[in-house]
Structure 1
Amino acid sequence: MTPKPATPDHKIKNRKALLLSLAEQRGLAGLLHGDSPLSFGDRFEIRRQLDEAARQKNLETIIQLAHRTSSDDVGSEPDPDWLSHFLALAENIRHPAMQQFWASILAQEIVRPGHCSIQALHRLKQMTQKDALLLQRASALGCHFGDDNLRLLFGFQHKTLLQGLRQHKLSLGRHRLPYAGLLQLFELGLLHQAELESGELPAGLPLRLVFNGRQQALYPLKKGVRLLYYRFTTIGNELAALMAETAPEDYLHELSELLAPVGQLQQR
């Protein structure tokens, strides 16, 4: 049987039309239409007005989304400087999902002023929707133990009499956080790049682990066990706290199986 020719992708097939549409939306299609009665200066003014109208629409959409998610509970007015920075950074956010995220930040700032720093807003402005999804996934896998720093737990190491120091790790890629995603989070300054290890866990004493409000306890069965993890940066902690997502059961199950030889992970 003669194979059918591959059907061209719609976006590739119509790329000229797509480019024309994008140019018209941004007021940049003057030369694409041939001779124009408008001068470059006139066309610049039209583009400037389109850009300003788009920024106004972006801000009004974010305000509307924040208003929809707000309740009638008591709130406080955000710091004026913070609000000025927020509006200046948010005005160019066009993607609906990112607009929703910025709206949630504003709504939370009214409930709890100071929960998101200006530095975190600037870092968020650099992020794409894909970056935000990566951080959201890392946040879902993250946990707290010992202090308020969020950590991404991925294994442990322990000493043996015969084999010396041994490490055991799970694959974060199996939980939709591939190494390329980790590299991107490193690049954005949301995760510290170094693989870190905890102090030695005392045998028999439970270690409290908190996965987005879900409490677990690790009961080490032997001495010499240290947990392996990546630590979120200060800004990574701030932004991750805005992306509450339940820790996936498959990750907790695999982590429990990984730790089984040296400790029992139990829900509290």
Structure 2
Amino acid sequence: MAQKSLSVDHKIRNSRTLLLQLAEQRGLAGLLHGDSPQSFGTRYEVRRQLEAAARQKNLETIVSLASQQCGTDVGSEPDPDWLSHFLALAENIRHPAMQQFWASILSQEISRPGRCSVQALNCLTQMTQKDALLLQKASALGCHFGDDNLRLIFGYRQKALLQGLRQQKINLGKYRLPYAGLMQLFELGLLHQTELESGELTTLPPLKLVLGQHRLLLDPYRKGVRLLYYRFTATGNELAALMTEPAPADYLRELADLLSPLGRLEQTAG
């Protein structure tokens, strides 16, 4: 019991020390040190300078990371209004992983202006690192078919004359995208919340699925097959296009296993 008490006290001291460190970093530790010779106004000025220095550090870090990502290809100057908005938002990004992502946006915008809209930047400011990882997982599982909209396939429905309605689904949670994660992407406006189904698949032309560098070509055996999917929003499409994680090999195998009973399936890469 005494050992447990010591452990709890140790955690409390650590929490108090951590809070003190955070307060000192943000210029908010005046009352934590007892009576301070500085007035509240003076301490406010110190805090304002610390915050300004932190914002400057954030921007310089992001620009430095973007410079490392820029290559020797010919670039173009981004729209000045876009760049001003980008800098106004990016100056508050402190997390190293998120700074890396913002740097990627900047480097890609210089390579090809217009890739990321102001609306997408505004959405990005609402995202935590966990949210960004969820979007990265969703984009890695996403595919294109029919048009340029990214879709997240999770199953199919098939109407058969004798068997009625047949349905098969993939458990996206196996690929670190649980339903709670999908709900978060819905809330952020990156995925449409409604479960959608494709039009009935036809043999001419066969269905072509594009997952990054992988291609699946499905020639259905019979009629009545419709794919089930979530569709990315316009903002979700923009931000997902900035992600570089490839489709997991086990997901590709499971998707192929899901579709192969429906018809002749060809797989290619590159």
Q: TM-score range by the shorter chain?
A: over 0.9
1:40 alignment partner AA: F
1:201-237 deviations in Å (ceiling 9; x for gaps) = 0147421110013222122121100000000000000
1:25 & 1:158 partners in 2: Cα distance?
Answer: 60
Q: Name the structure 1 match of 2:129.
A: 129
Q: Which deviates the most, 171-180 or 215-224?
A: 215-224
Q: Name the structure 1 match of 2:260.
A: 260
Q: Name the structure 1 match of 2:167.
A: 167
1:89-117 deviations in Å (ceiling 9; x for gaps) = 00000011111111111111111011110
Q: Name the structure 1 match of 2:210.
A: 210
1:169 & 1:118 partners in 2: Cα distance?
Answer: 36
* Aligned residue runs from structure 1 range 1-268, under 5 A: 14-203=14-203, 205-268=205-268
1:21 alignment partner AA: Q
1:90 & 1:130 partners in 2: Cα distance?
Answer: 18
Q: Specify the SS of the correspondent of 1:260.
A: helix
Q: Specify the SS of the correspondent of 1:261.
A: helix
User: Given that residues 205 and 220 in structure 1 are in contact (C-alpha distance below 8 angstroms), is that contact kept between their aligned partners in structure 2?
Assistant: no
2:257 alignment partner AA: E
1:203 & 1:12 partners in 2: Cα distance?
Answer: 67
1:199 & 1:11 partners in 2: Cα distance?
Answer: 58
Q: Given the two structures, how large is their TM-score scaled by the length of structure 2? A: 0.94
2:85 & 2:240 partners in 1: Cα distance?
Answer: 20
Cα 1:95–1:23 change in 2 (3 A) is: same
2:8 & 2:69 partners in 1: Cα distance?
Answer: 42
Q: Specify the SS of the correspondent of 2:165.
A: strand
1:198 & 1:9 partners in 2: Cα distance?
Answer: 59
Q: Specify the SS of the correspondent of 1:201.
A: coil
1:9 & 1:228 partners in 2: Cα distance?
Answer: 53
2:247 & 2:12 partners in 1: Cα distance?
Answer: 39
User: Given that residues 191 and 230 in structure 1 are in contact (C-alpha distance below 8 angstroms), is that contact kept between their aligned partners in structure 2?
Assistant: yes
Identity of aligned residues (%): 73
Q: Specify the SS of the correspondent of 1:14.
A: helix
User: Given that residues 192 and 231 in structure 1 are in contact (C-alpha distance below 8 angstroms), is that contact kept between their aligned partners in structure 2?
Assistant: yes
Q: Which deviates the most, 196-205 or 230-239?
A: 196-205
Deviation at 1:259, TM superposition (A): 2.1
5+ long unaligned stretches in structure 2: none
Aligned length: 266
5+ long unaligned stretches in structure 1: none
User: Given that residues 256 and 264 in structure 1 are in contact (C-alpha distance below 8 angstroms), is that contact kept between their aligned partners in structure 2?
Assistant: no
1:71-100 deviations in Å (ceiling 9; x for gaps) = 122111110000000000000000111111
Q: Specify the SS of the correspondent of 1:122.
A: helix
2:163 & 2:33 partners in 1: Cα distance?
Answer: 74
1:165-215 deviations in Å (ceiling 9; x for gaps) = 222111000111000000000000000000000000014742111001322
RMSD: 1.9
User: Given that residues 151 and 230 in structure 1 are in contact (C-alpha distance below 8 angstroms), is that contact kept between their aligned partners in structure 2?
Assistant: yes
1:245 & 1:220 partners in 2: Cα distance?
Answer: 30
The structure 1 segments of at least 4 consecutive aligned residues displaced by more than 3 Å after TM superposition are 4-13
Q: Given the two structures, how large is their TM-score scaled by the length of structure 1? A: 0.94
